[in-house]
Amino acid sequence: MTSAQIEIQLIASLVAIACALPGTFLVLRKMAMISDAISHSILPGIVLGFFITQDLNSPLLIVLAALTGVVTVMLVEFIQRTKLVKEDTAIGLVFPALFSIGVIMIAKNANDVHLDIDAVLLGELAFAPFDRLVAGGTDLGPKSLWVIGSILLISVSLLLLFFKELKLSTFDKGLAATLGFSPVILHYGLKTVSSVTIVGAFDAVGAVLVVALIIAPAASAYLLTDDLRKMLILSCCFGVFAAISGYWMANLLDASIAGSMSTMLGLLFLLVYLFAPNRGVISVLVRQRRQQLEVALLVFLLHLQNHEEPEERHVKHLQEHINWQKVQSERVLNLATNNNLIKITNGVIDLTGKGRQFTAEALNYITINKETAIEDLKEQFFLFRG
């Protein structure tokens, strides 16, 4: 690996972490799309800063862009508060307007600036190692590494200091307000950090793909954990994984680095979405199927208990009278037999002692429908699954 390759991967990883942290809170606050708005509408701020300083990594540029980001949030909220349009519409109105101002500003001055629309949309990570920070003749590494490094440092410090406050105001704004933690300050604080991060990441991944880095790691982590801390750590890990694997995919395919990183994030989310242990699509389907079978078993056992007459308790009767498919009946019969709840003699089904006891408990659960009864019954079922 050349040093430029290492530097690109390092920058990409820091960008990914810097995006994943505010992204986690934005996703939990159901404000993920505001990051899309910010990432577009900071363009006039960036362009203006660039015209003044002629340097894409100037702090002024970051300040101006962050200000535009906060203005975006305020404009969206202002329009929304009039109640004439809904939030998503307000977002859709504000950011194209600001973005297009930025686009026109670039187009009008395209001759004397090295800032083009492609780079704005998709970023140009491959060139990052060429723009270096040199102090007193010593090469201190790529400028964008320093920029995103500083942003990440600030963002991590703020997160460590205000983790409790952010968590509280994200979960329960009302309680945060009554305990004296102003949700408005935290809201704008988070938006400011998000804006600054997006500006820092802009250079590397551009306006469109930065959204993927903010939302996808958090959305994937959300499906895997029930703990906010773990969700933050997992988001960062996913981000770094996508950054590095994306870089090598781009290398292999000779494609855009930002595009490959986002693709990796998309794939990662797809995998988690399908295979997450509790919330993944597959495990939800498996659980639903199992619950259907368990409910079917209850229906069957109660039917047996209610009917003394042999013709009602005949194996064939299941298909004819309870109106079950053959497969369903067999599955239920097998489950009941395997757990020693019934015995079948000449096609007539009898409840065993255990079966009678279980049915009584189930009946109790159905009639009382109390939380504790449900918990007990769930444990019983758990027992049978072994």
Please report, as ranges, the residues that interact with another protein according to CB under 8 A. 28, 30, 161-165, 167-168, 170-172, 174-175, 177-181, 222, 225-228, 230-231, 370-371
CB of 287 to another protein, least distance (A): 13
Q: Which residues pair with 343 in a beta bridge?
A: 350
Residue with Cβ nearer another protein (222 or 247): 222
Residue with Cβ nearer another protein (172 or 350): 172
Residue with Cβ nearer another protein (222 or 300): 222
Alpha carbons 47 and 44: distance in angstroms, whole number: 5
CB of 338 to another protein, least distance (A): 28
What does residue 250 show for φ and ψ, rounded to 5 degrees? -60, -40
CB of 368 to another protein, least distance (A): 9
CB of 271 to another protein, least distance (A): 20
What does residue 337 show for φ and ψ, rounded to 5 degrees? -65, -45
Q: Is 206 left (phi over 0), alpha (psi -120 to 50) or beta?
A: left
Residue with Cβ nearer another protein (116 or 172): 172
Cα–Cα distance list, 173 to 155, 164, 168, 187 (Å): 22, 13, 7, 10
- Which residues contact residue 56 at a Cβ distance below 8 angstroms, ignoring those fewer than 6 apart? 50, 115, 131, 203
CB of 184 to another protein, least distance (A): 12
Residue with Cβ nearer another protein (227 or 254): 227
Residue with Cβ nearer another protein (179 or 285): 179
Cα–Cα distance list, 366 to 91, 163, 352, 359 (Å): 48, 44, 21, 10
CB of 56 to another protein, least distance (A): 35
Residue with Cβ nearer another protein (112 or 227): 227
CB of 65 to another protein, least distance (A): 28
